[in-house]
Every structure is written in C-alpha cells, then in structure tokens.
Chain A
C-alpha cells in the first residue's frame, strides 16, 4: 500500500518536473569550416544562398572568405537574432551591389537587404512571389510573379520593381509577362524572361524589353516557350534559356542580339544554369524526359565571342561523377575558379565544389539545403 502511494507521489513529481524544465531554444550559431585559402584579388569572397525546401523555412546563407579560407555556414541567424523565423523560405536569388547584399526570398515574399560586411539586416522590402534581382545605375530590379498590389488582384501577369539602393524603397514598377524569371541590363534596357509556368500548356514565349529611363515595356521578343535563365555577355548579347514543356518540346538556349533585338543563334542544349565570364559561358544542362524517363546532364561551354559550343566538359570527370543534382554555378571572373553545387536529394544538406581553371578540385564542403545562388563580394565598393 505504502509503496503504491510513494509511486504516485513520484509520478506527480515527474509530471511537474517535465513542466518545469522547459528547455532553452537558442538561435543556431554559424559553423566554421577551414578550407584552403584563395588569393584575394578584387574578389575577396562570396555569399552562397541555400534555398531550403519549400515550407521548411530553412533558407540560409553561407560565406566563404578567400583570404582566411574560412567557410562560415549558416551566418544569417547569428547576425540577426531579432529577425523572426530567420532568413525565410526558398532563397531564390542573391546579389551584391555596393556595400549591400540583396537576397530574394521567394516564398517569404521579400527582398532582404543586408550589410555585405556584417550580414546584418538593413531592410525588408515586401515583394510578393519575387524571383530574381539585378542591378544598374544605383537601382536594384526585382522580378516577381505576383503583382497583386501593383497590377490588381486577379492579374496573372508579373512585374519588375525598381528599388532605390539608397532609400531601399520601391520607386517604380512595370508590368511584364506571366511568371517572369531572370533579368539582365544592357545599356538602358532591361531584358526579362517570361515563363508562364502557371498555365501549362499556355506558356509565355517572350523576352520583355523595358526602357529603364521611362520604366515602360517597349517590346516583347518572341523566343520560345517557358523561358527562364537570362544572362548578358560583354558584347551586348543575351543568352536566354527555354525549359521546354518537360514532355515533347525540348530545352534550348537562344542568343539575342540587343542591337537588333532579334534571335541570332540557337543551341539545342538544355540550360538549367549559366554563368558567363569573359569569353566563355559555363552551362549546366540537366534535362529529364518524361517520355523516356531518362536523365541527361551536361557541363558544356560556349565561346560567346564566336558563339560556338566548345568540345568537352568544364568539370573533371571525378567531380561530375560525384555530383548527383548539379544546381548552383558561379565562376570567379579573376581566378576563373568554378564553384558548383550539388543539391543532392533537396531535403538534406548539399555540397559545394571548387574546381580551378586547370580542372583541379580545390575543396568540397557541406552547405545548407539546396545550395543555389552566389554573390561575389568585391574588395572595395566597386560595382561589379
């Protein structure tokens, strides 16, 4: 009998004990991995934005410092303990302009502006369903799918927001096609790829051209369905990718001459990511055919001066064999180091590889989930 009462008392105590030992829940600090250093040229390091899987709210920022070789994983939380729920959900693009970093956090409906040196938050700019960011003449341009505020509640069209990089306010907006993606500025014109991905099979097929002075759309260039990537080379040519329809229409890459705004060349290659540095475009093409259920991945190069596809792969076979899901890509404009990421299975941490211009692997390091977008940090506040 007595033991039973003791047992009960013990139980009650255990229950109370459970309630009183509410655990601390700290901000998860950054992790530092020491990697081989790089010679700091004009570039002194880069930010890597990890997308994180949708609805997990696990977008994160890593920073690699060339001089010390330290790779700091997950730097945002520690730098911004006051930012509710951290960086947010699905980091879709990142860029540095002047002394500020602009991270486009797609499913958090915001452009997060941070100090490039400290990663501290400067401002949150609300842009619903925002996708990409680019810069010119003291302005940042953000593309977005949803123009509820700007275009009215039911418009399927997207828009581009012009953000003043000093006041960090949206100054002007312009309506473009449906589900607009990547942009590039050539001269006074902004080129933006429209996808129309929300209404298959009625994809968009145009690149919209925006006059930056008047901030109005001056034309649409008919290219192909479901456009996505858009990058400019040094000679004023635009490389724009079409994702196809994932079934019958294959992916392609088009070259537009911005002097005539006409297509001057078509490459029959898939392009899921592209980085143009100097005379070369580095392209990850990975394509899945729902007809054959086969994978097709290539790491190709295009000579953008001659506009020809070069032989071979920009990655050594040892690295390309290791990569399961090639995702992010950036090439250091000075050292010509290739930085490429493997998103793995999308739901666990990915990997970053550094391969130098001779094809030697310098390091590989574990990143956040879905490592995807790079922004090089320049030594002075020079504009890239």
Chain B
C-alpha cells in the first residue's frame, strides 16, 4: 500500500492504540466481570414473539424495531427458488433489483428509490463495499450458506455496531450459517448440488467442526459453472417477432470461506477469510443488428476479517473489528482495438478497516455507545491518466438508546471526515459531514403486539472513485450525495392459533429527499460526459408487508406472504427538462406474493412478483415506456431421510408462464427455466 509519511504515522498509532485497548483493558474488565447472565447481543429481544409459532417457516417481524426491518431467514428463505441473495431480495417491499439478466449478470439493490450506492451491504457484520463504483453485485452471494437476510430502512436497530452500520440510508445484512452443536454432534457436513437450465452446475460443501468447548470451525465452498444460454424474445404487436439465444453469458465462479469461532467467557471472537474467483462473459445489451458480444471479465475478491466482542462488566461492552480486503477486476474488450492490442483494463482495490465500538449502560433503561471506524481505500488501475487515489475515512457515531416497557428512543449523531489523496492530477476535496438520526417506537395499547414507530435520518454517500477520477469523465470537485428520510409505520401481530395460526402486518409511509445527486451530464465538450452534483429527487412511498399462517386438518399448513409497494419518485432537479417526471426504472406499483403449503415431508411453494409500468429514461414519454412484468415461480420440495441421512430434494420451475421481459432495458431476462437441487447432511 502506498501511504505518505504522516498517514503511515496515523495508521501505526491507530493500530497500536487498538491493540493496547484490547490487550490492556481486557484483563481489567475481566476482573470485575459478573457471571454470565442473559446477555443479549442485540439490544432488542428479537425472538420474543417467535417462540409460540408452531411452524418455523413464518416470516419474522420485529415489533419493537424503531426502523422498519424485513427479514428472510431459514425455511422462509428456502421457499423462494433463489440461487443467489439477489433473487431473494426481490421479495422485500420497497426494493428494486437492478438485474442485467442471467446467472452472471450484475444485480444491485436499490431501496426506496434512493439509488444503489445508498444501500450498505454487510456480510457477517462486516461491510462489503466497492470504493471504485459503489456497486455490490448481490448475484455473487450464493444462498447456500446464508442463514438470514435482513433489510433495514435506515439502520439496524442497535447502537452496538460499527460506525459504518449507521451511515447508509439503508442496510442489508447477510448472515451466514452459524454452527450449532447442541445435538451433541461435533462434526457436521452438508453437501449439495444444483443443476438445471443455463447449463448450470453448482456443487457446494459445508463443513462444521467443534474443536473444543471454546473453538469451532466452519469451512464452506461452492463452485458454479453455467453456459448462461437462454432463449429470449422481442416482439411488437403487428410488427417484428424475434427469438434468439443469449450468447457470451457463461460464468465460472468459486467461493470459499473459512471461519474460526471462539467463545470467550463473556464474549466471543471470530476470524474469517473469504475468497471468490470468477470469470464471465459479458453478454451486453441487445440492440438492433447486434446480438453478440465478446467482452469478458474476471473478478477476484479476498478478505480476512477478525472480530472480537466482550462484555467486561454488566455495564460495559466492547466490539472490535479489523479487516483487510483485496479486490481484483479485469475487463477485456477485443472490439476496442488499441495500439497495444485489445483493451485490457485491470483494477486493484485494497481496503484496510478498523473499528471499535464501546457501549456503556448508564441505567437499566439507558445505554450510550461510541463507535469509531477508520478505513483506507486505495485503487490502482492501468488506465490512461489514472490518478491512483487513496481515501482515508474517519467515521464516528455517538449514540444513545432509551428503552422503557412501552417506548424506545434511539438517537445518533454521526460525523465523518474523508480525506482524498492522489498520486497524480487533481485530487478530490476532503469532506466533513455531520448527520443526525432519531428514531422511536411506541406501544400505544396494552398489547405488546402492536407498535408504532417513526424515524428521521440524514445520510450521504461519497462520490465513488469512478465518479471522481475516471479518465475524461470523472470530476474531482464532486461533493457527497445527501439523502433525508422520514418514516412512520406500525407493526401488528395477531395469533389466534386456530385455523388462522397467525397474521402479521407491517405498514410504513415515508418521504425521502435526495439532493446533490451525482449524475452523468454532457460536458461542454460534446464527446464526453462528466459527473455532476445535479439531481434532486422527492420520493413518497407506502409499503405493506403481511404474513398469514393457516392450519388445515391433517397437519397441512399454508403460509401466505403478501407485500405491496407504492412509490412516487419524482425528479425535482431545478431547471430540468423532466421536472415532475417519475425517475427511471421506478414502478409506481409493485408487489410480491409468496405461498407455501406443507404436509409432512412435502412442501409446495408458489411465488409471484409484479413490477408495474416504468420508464427506461428520465422523460415519461411513450418511447421510454416499459410495460409491467410479472413472473410466477413454483417449487416442490421433499425433506426427509434417505439411508438415515437428512436429505432434501427440490424441483423448481421459474417463470412458469414463460414471460419475456427486461428489468434493465435491452438486457433480456430468461423465460421459463428449471432447476433441480439436492442436499444431504452427514
């Protein structure tokens, strides 16, 4: 890593400080540590209401959360015919998945129309980002080893988390499967394989080992190969009707993870390494007279992450995280013929990240915390006139949480200082940003099953390295892009436990404002774009999530989930020609339905996604109109014992009605497709 002198000094001191903190404070606090009591890792008793549910597949609702949260976990997650995390997040309300189609196509999440760079993604508590382009490809995360996906509008409802957790407008948490050796087994192995359309072959392997009463180990790997070929069709009434096969959409990817968990008296520690390696074709936009592409991409992501958490006394808790990650990306365009041959771009990103969180319980009902994060991001690339930027980010979050039986209040004060350094050319300005957040949840009646909540949150995203420095396009004078969110909502759960086992409702209304939105604009030089802080967007929305569980005779259960989203996301950029128009790719109406019938070892799932009419560009005119699309997926699952081994076999039909549609204009999605899966536990 290239660091200039004073920064290296900072870094050394930071690291030493952190080390001292952990080594020095640990024994002191350990002495006045009390016997382990009912310590909670989350400030909210999240499983409080779940114990009474007969079926475990019900969707989880957190009644007390002052910010709206949607959770897909365990069996609920398994019902969704999903290969990757990207497929599953489509079932959250308020979400648009920008999906370029196929297994290898880029898939990014956009929550409540704020833009994909405003959703932070956390993988086992550690943020995964991309300082280069701000995009996290959720298609890269296999669901195979994921236990739960949680989407928070605003932030996770705990003050005991790294500062980064507070800073984004929305946060998506991916939690991998944690070993559970309660059955007395010390070794657990799970193997599975998936195959089907697109030439898919996807074996995976999960190994969990209890080493001692303190240590346990988890190793997992999966390998994915697909030729990515599928039929697509473009047709117009009384016009053309063309069917073709998607080309150059092949992918080969390997993901492997190794994690060591330790239980340390009153705390825990973990060390995790992650490696992802892939090669894929980029199938490109389908255009008149152009259906085939030759561009290719390679990605390699590596990280090592250490986490340590301890409650040194009844009143004081510490959480420390360290991470180093290295990402490599290579892009080849044989059609772009330079003097040195085909265009061959290589990008290297390094990140060093350190975080310390302290939480202090002042009174039974009152906690405060201070979270401080420091990170270095560095990007190298073999581009013409590349400035070799390094970004030093210092984030701090001072939080307080007050918890009474009927009322919860949380307030955060966030401060960030971001310092940009470049080796050559113009460097971006340093940024100081302060953001307040306040949220509350209140129980108006005697029943604990009904709560109302509200939050106000300001947040921002930094311009990415591409925004600032991309040759010819980047603009180093960019400011961060700001969002303001207001939300009011409630959660209600009833549990008659009769024919209707349970019903849960969660509804929210919200208003968001985005200002200084970073958009590509023509520069006065007619042949180039440049990035500008120009856009302004007003978003008003309504979201409804419901879940019903019915019990029929003969142990038949029906689980039904419905969600609906209404969103008006209006371009209010001053002097803009599209003032008052709905922003691109944002449907006014969208919704999902999931249902599942289970009987003994069998389960039949049906899920439906509807995305209403949209516009592919800023102007709401006929040529930009994109008609609504809806898909139906179905799966039959058998979960039982085969040769005394717990075995699960599933058969899926996706897009049953073979509807052809684009999520992103000119990137066709597959029609009807099939998947078979089988997993065996040893």
Contacts and interface: CB of A to CB of B under 8 A. Distances in A.
Interface of A: 1, 4, 11, 15, 18-19, 22-28, 53, 55-58, 60, 74, 81-89, 105, 107-110, 124, 126, 128-129, 145-146, 153-156, 178, 198-202, 228, 243, 246-247, 272-273, 286-288, 290, 293, 295-297, 325-327, 343-349, 368-369
A7 to B, nearest CB: 9
Interface in B615-638: 616-619, 621-623, 627-628, 630, 632
A328 B235 CA distance: 32
A294 to B, nearest CB: 8
A153 B520 CA distance: 33
A79 to B, nearest CB: 11
Contacts of B526: 272-273, 286, 325-327, 343
Given A272-B525, A286-B525, A349-B621, A85 B632 contact: no
Contact of A345 (B240, B339, B521): B521
Top 4 nearest A-B pairs (CB, nearest first) are A88-B288, A295-B524, A81-B239, A288-B525
Interface string B619-659: 10111000110101000000000000000000000000101
Given A25-B235, A348-B578, A15 B593 contact: yes
A22 B520 CA distance: 35
Contacts of B426: 290
Contact of B577 (A85, A124, A297, A344): A344
B328 to A, nearest CB: 24
B492 interface: no
Interface in B254-309: 284-290
Contacts of A109: 289-290
A345 to B, nearest CB: 6
B137 to A, nearest CB: 18
A348 B426 CA distance: 31
B553 interface: no
A228 B526 CA distance: 12
B550 interface: yes
Interface stretch (B21-29, B51-59, B310-318, B330-338): B330-338
Contact of A82 (B239, B284, B334, B341): B239
Interface in B515-566: 519-530, 550, 560
A182 B623 CA distance: 30
A243 B472 CA distance: 13
Nearest to A147: B337
A19 B522 contact: no
B339 A88 contact: no
A103 to B, nearest CB: 11
Contacts of B393: none
A200 B524 CA distance: 20
Contacts of A286: 524-526
Interface in B221-235: 234-235
Contacts of B499: 1, 4
A146 B288 CA distance: 18
23 contacts: A1-B499, A18-B630, A19-B630, A22-B659, A24-B237, A26-B238, A27-B238, A55-B284, A56-B617, A57-B666, A83-B288, A84-B234, A85-B286, A109-B289, A155-B337, A198-B338, A228-B527, A287-B524, A345-B522, A345-B618, A346-B521, A368-B623, A369-B617
A64 B376 CA distance: 57
B530 A23 contact: no
A56 B237 contact: no
Contact of A348 (B234, B238, B471, B619): B619
B2 interface: no
A198 B237 contact: no
Interface in B375-403: 384-385
A155 B337 CA distance: 7
B385 A247 contact: yes
B240 A82 contact: yes
Nearest to B472: A246
B242 A84 contact: yes
A155 B527 CA distance: 24
Contacts of A74: 623
Given A24-B237, A57-B287, A178-B339, A288 B530 contact: yes
Contacts of A348: 577-578, 617-619
Contacts of B522: 325, 343, 345-346
A347 B535 CA distance: 13
A28 B623 contact: yes
Contacts of B339: 156, 178, 199, 202
A231 B519 CA distance: 34
Contacts of B523: 288, 295
Contact of B524 (A28, A83, A108, A297): A297
Given A81-B240, A110-B288, 8 more contacts: A15-B608, A15-B632, A25-B236, A85-B240, A88-B287, A288-B523, A326-B526, A348-B578
B477 interface: yes
Contacts of A327: 526
Given A105-B288, A105-B289, A156 B627 contact: no
A83 to B, nearest CB: 6
Contacts of B525: 243, 246, 272, 286-288
A23 B628 CA distance: 9
A288 B530 CA distance: 10
A108 B521 CA distance: 23
B343 interface: yes
B287 A83 contact: no
Given A19-B630, A295-B523, A108 B287 contact: yes
Contacts of A154: 337, 341-342
A87 B610 CA distance: 30
B627 A25 contact: yes
Contacts of A293: 475, 477
A349 B621 CA distance: 9
A89 B290 contact: yes
A57 B285 contact: yes
A18 B632 CA distance: 10
Given A86-B288, A156-B337, A348-B618, A11 B528 contact: no
B665 interface: yes
A92 to B, nearest CB: 12
Contacts of B238: 26-27, 81
B130 to A, nearest CB: 21
B100 to A, nearest CB: 11
Nearest to B340: A199
A93 B338 CA distance: 24
B242 A146 contact: no
B338 A156 contact: yes
A84 B288 CA distance: 6
